[in-house]
Chain A
Amino acid sequence: MASQTQSAAPPKEAVPPVSVWILPVLAAWIIPGGGHFMQKRMGRGALIFASVLLMFLFGLFMRGMMFTPDSSGDVLTKLISYGGFVCDLANGALYFLASMFGYAAPDMPGAVHDYGTKFLVTAGLLNILSMVDSYEIAVGKKD
């Protein structure tokens, strides 16, 4: 009786090997849309590249702030600084180039600077979405 009501557990999905997806995901991180270019999704890659690049550039032109990991202050301050740093870092080469050329806008009061900071962080978040999409294409979950 009990065995009739219990349903069998669904079979576990096999974890795709790292070698299948690591290069597209790394390419997507370093160059926005790079994972799509690598997997011959040129149109989608170009749109992602243009969107992330333009968002990042508008962030820079509005003198947005780049976050640095800061362990001082309360929990919320730490969360914001570390979270912001991870999102900025997710921009890949754009972040490294901006840092290399000495971009370091201070945290200034003003709406425009604040928009710029949000643009820089969101560009990184969008690039994380593109990395996830590259992963799904690489493992065959998506076309």
Chain B
Amino acid sequence: MPKVNLSHFEAAFLFSLFTSVVMGITSKKTDKERLHYGAYCFGCFLVALFAIAWVMKLGHG
């Protein structure tokens, strides 16, 4: 079985992508709403990812 060594950013990016796709599909009723919600979730994940990364960097010096 192949072994994958992802960086934290790569792992978080893939996590965000897959989670956003499923949340978009399962949460809304029309395709347009699904697309918008999926993109919104993905954007929120990425903003949180960068924001928390900066907080940790500044917190640890």
Q: What residues make up the interface of A, taking CB atoms closer than 8 Å to B?
A: 44, 47-48, 51-52, 54-55, 58, 60-63, 103, 111-112, 115, 118-119, 122-123, 126, 129-130, 132-133, 142-143
Q: What residues make up the interface of B, taking CB atoms closer than 8 Å to A?
A: 1-6, 8, 11, 14-15, 18-19, 21-23, 25-26, 29-30
A-B pair count, CB < 8 Å, reads 66
Q: Is the pair B22, A52 in contact by a Cβ cutoff of 8 Å?
A: yes
Query: With A51-B18, A122-B19 in contact, do A58 and B4 touch (Cβ < 8 Å)?
Result: yes
A-B contact pairs, 5 of them (CB 8 A): A47-B21, A55-B14, A103-B1, A130-B26, A143-B30
Interface residues of A: mostly helix, strand, loop or mixed?
helix
CB distance from B37 to the nearest CB of A (A): 13
Q: Is the pair B18, A54 in contact by a Cβ cutoff of 8 Å?
A: yes
